Every structure is written in structure tokens, then in C-alpha cells.
């Protein structure tokens, strides 16, 4: 039985080779599942869900969601896979994860579902001695007058463009400094070292309380980013459905408040 044909320029699978490849993939998947099941059993777990999260930080509402789900489902292991929305959605499409935390705007995968979890304010990092630090609201016209530390556009063009449009509007843009290290503490430290630059920050960053840096609010309209969960309903396990139900419960409770 020939599995492939080869000539001087390429190799091509025969119909028998295609069939063999598909069966081999099934066997490898079953082997992976057996390995995971054995590991979960050793740890006293019976289920597993994989969630792609935001590499720059997890909103407080998501932290609360994870804590509540783990409390209610102690036998389900929750794995977090930090990344950015495009990578998270690709991982979801390839079924490497069960759920993806994304920021808007994003291009939804085919046959996917979305649940809005909330939104957070886009803030401005300001050196404590900067003249803008004392303002209750920072005018957008002031943003173009000094260099500005931002997230590299390449990690998520749609969201970074949205951030810049929300911050600067249609006016002039300041010299943009793309942060080589995108960790919140690194971005904040970069602003703290140079009293002449500002930087983009998000709601969760303000809780870090780094000396020498304040987190300012922009003038109205307040810039925000919406975030939520994406999943493929046709492939959702009972554990994933339980997680989504918990997320809906917390979301509805937040609306009531």
C-alpha cells in the first residue's frame, strides 16, 4: 500500500495516505486525552477547561469570575493561556483552548458565540511631577505635545487603532513610543523614568500603585474598551457551558447593581 508519491519537485499523499494521516491524528488526539485524564486524576480533578486570557492583564471582573467558578467547581482544572485577541481567537479556532477572552473590536470566528463581560476605561499614565498631573480631566489637545508610550500596533492592530482614536480623536498624534516590554509594570516604569513622556494605561493598571506615576482621566467622551468571552458553542463541553452560565450570572448581577 503506497502512502505517498514522490517526484523530483514534490511529495503528495495518495488516498490511502490521506486516510492513514487522518487515523493517525485521531490516535494522537486520543493519546493526548489519555495523558491529560491521567494527570487530572492524579491531581484530584475530573475536568479541564482552557481559557485564553489577555497578556497585559486580567480585568477584575474576570478575576472574580474565575474565583467563583473554581469555588463552585473544585474538581475542574482551569488553565489560563495569556495572549492577545488575534492569537486567542486563532487558538480557539484550532481548538487549542475552549474559551477566549477578547477585547473589541475583533473579527469573530465562524459559528462562534460572544458574551459581553464589561468594559474598562482607557487611562493616561502621567509622571507625578508633570504639569498635567493636577488636572481632573486631561484635554485631548494636550496629548499631542509630548511623546507617548503605547502598546505595539502589531500585537492587535484593530484594538490599538481603537485606543489611539479614542485617546487622540481626529487631532494631531504625539510621537508614539511602542513599549518593547508590554507588561504593565514595565510600561509604568518607563513613564516613571522620564518626566517628559505620557503613556496608555488601563483600569487594572491603576491598582499597581507605582511610585512617581499617576493615572489620569481623559476629557469626555471617556475612552473605553469592551471585553468579553468567545467560544464555539458546537464544541462546548458541559464544564465550558457551566463556566459560561457562571459568567452570565455575574454579568446580569452587575447590570442589576
Mean pLDDT of the chain: 84
**How many whole angstroms separate alpha carbon 93 and alpha carbon 108?**
10
Is 27 exposed, middle or buried, given 0-12, 13-18 or 19+ CB atoms closer than 10 A? exposed
Say yes or no: 113 and 237 in one domain: yes
pLDDT at 42: 61
Say yes or no: 31 and 64 in one domain: no
pLDDT at 206: 74
Cross-strand pairs, 123: 201
> What SS3 state is found at 227?
strand
Domain with residue 101: its CATH number is 3.40.190.10
Say yes or no: 71 and 140 in one domain: no
Say yes or no: 126 and 210 in one domain: yes
Say yes or no: 82 and 159 in one domain: no
Say yes or no: 67 and 18 in one domain: no
Say yes or no: 163 and 201 in one domain: yes
Total domain count for the chain?
A: 3
Q: What DSSP character marks residue 134?
A: G
Is 191 exposed, middle or buried, given 0-12, 13-18 or 19+ CB atoms closer than 10 A? buried
Q: Tell me which residue has cell 486580567.
A: 58
pLDDT in tens, 197-232: 899 988 777 777 778 898 999 999 999 999 999 999
**How many whole angstroms separate alpha carbon 157 and alpha carbon 251?**
28
Residue among 50, 155, 54 nearest 92 (CA): 50
**How many whole angstroms separate alpha carbon 205 and alpha carbon 149?**
14
CA-to-CA separations, 197 to 10, 132, 141, 144, in angstroms, rounded: 55, 11, 15, 11
* Residues present in the chain in total: 257
pLDDT in tens, 106-163: 999 999 999 999 998 999 999 988 889 889 999 988 888 889 999 899 989 999 999 9
Radius of gyration of the chain (CA): 23
Say yes or no: 207 and 232 in one domain: no
Say yes or no: 96 and 48 in one domain: yes
Say yes or no: 151 and 213 in one domain: yes
Say yes or no: 34 and 113 in one domain: no
pTM: 0.77
Say yes or no: 89 and 132 in one domain: no
Domain extent, residue 138, equals 120-225
Other Cβ atoms less than 10 A from the Cβ of 19: the count is: 13
pLDDT of 20 strictly over 80: no
Amino acid at each position: 500500500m503506497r502512502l505517498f508519491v514522490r517526484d523530483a519537485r514534490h511529495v503528495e499523499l495518495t488516498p490511502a495516505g490521506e486516510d492513514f494521516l487522518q487515523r493517525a491524528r485521531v490516535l494522537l488526539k486520543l493519546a493526548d486525552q489519555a495523558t491529560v485524564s491521567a494527570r487530572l486524576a492524579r491531581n484530584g480533578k475530573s475536568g479541564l477547561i482552557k481559557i485564553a486570557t489577555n497578556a497585559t492583564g486580567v480585568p477584575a471582573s474576570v478575576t472574580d469570575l474565575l474565583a467563583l467558578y473554581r469555588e463552585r467547581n473544585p474538581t475542574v482544572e482551569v488553565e489560563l493561556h495569556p495572549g492577545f485577541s488575534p492569537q486567542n481567537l486563532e487558538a480557539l479556532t484550532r481548538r487549542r483552548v475552549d474559551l477566549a477572552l477578547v477585547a473589541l473590536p475583533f473579527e469573530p470566528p465562524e459559528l462562534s458565540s460572544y458574551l459581553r463581560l464589561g468594559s474598562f476605561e482607557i487611562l493616561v499614565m502621567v509622571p507625578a511631577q508633570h504639569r498635567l498631573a493636577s488636572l481632573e480631566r486631561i484635554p485631548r489637545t494636550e496629548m499631542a505635545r509630548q511623546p507617548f508610550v503605547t502598546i505595539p500596533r502589531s500585537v492587535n492592530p484593530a484594538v490599538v487603532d481603537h485606543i489611539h482614536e479614542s485617546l487622540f480623536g481626529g487631532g494631531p498624534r504625539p510621537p508614539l513610543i511602542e513599549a518593547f516590554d508590554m507588561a504593565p509594570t514595565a510600561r509604568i516604569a518607563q513613564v516613571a523614568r522620564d518626566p517628559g513622556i505620557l503613556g496608555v494605561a488601563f483600569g487594572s493598571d491603576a491598582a499597581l500603585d507605582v511610585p512617581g506615576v499617576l493615572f489620569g482621566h481623559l476629557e469626555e467622551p471617556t475612552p473605553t474598551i469592551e471585553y468579553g468571552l468567545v467560544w464555539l458553542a458546537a464544541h462546548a463541553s458541559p464544564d465550558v457551558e457551566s463556566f459560561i452560565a457562571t459568567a452570565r450570572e455575574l454579568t446580569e448581577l452587575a447590570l442589576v447593581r
